[in-house]
């Protein structure tokens, strides 16, 4: 069976809000596609995401949550590093001879 001719495809005119046409054109250029192919890809991705039970809006929300969690993790790492330094200092104060015994070479 031969491939569909362009005239056989459904046509639909779209009115873009300000700036969206340029954004789609830039995205199409980055992806090596025509604007039409890029728009079709965006629509296909949105439909596939919805059918999978993970809509695009949820993906954006999830990315924001992940970024926030990453920031929290880095904050916790900083706190843990400070706590480790404090514990090391307290250990040295409480057991001043301990490091000397560990660092001694056997005779």
Q: What is the pLDDT of residues 72-82, one digit of tens each?
A: 999 999 999 99
State the pLDDT at residue 50.
77
What's the pLDDT tens digit per position in 25-79?
999 999 999 999 999 999 998 888 778 776 666 777 788 888 889 889 999 999 9
* Residue 1 confidence (pLDDT): 46
Residues 35 and 71 in one domain: no
Q: Show the domain range for 88.
A: 56-107
| One domain for residues 84 and 68 | yes
The first and second tokens of residue 97, run together, are 């001879």
Place of tokens 């090596």: 32
Please tell me whether residues 87 and 104 are part of one structural domain: yes
One domain for residues 23 and 63: no
Q: What does the chain come to in residues?
A: 107
Higher per-residue confidence, 88 vs 4: 88
pTM value > 0.75: no
Token pair recorded at residue 47: 């439909």
**What CATH number did the domain enclosing 23 receive?**
1.10.1220
């Amino acid at each position: 069976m031969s491939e569909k001719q362009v005239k056989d495809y459904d046509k639909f005119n779209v009115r873009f809000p300000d700036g969206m046409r340029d954004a789609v054109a830039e995205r199409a250029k980055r992806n090596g596609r025509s604007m039409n192919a890029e728009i079709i890809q965006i629509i296909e991705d949105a439909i596939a995401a919805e059918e999978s039970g993970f809509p695009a809006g949820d993906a954006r929300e999830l990315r924001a949550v992940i970024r926030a969690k990453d920031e929290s993790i880095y904050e916790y790492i900083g706190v843990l590093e400070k706590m480790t330094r404090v514990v090391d200092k307290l250990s040295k104060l409480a057991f001043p001879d301990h490091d000397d015994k560990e660092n001694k070479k056997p005779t």
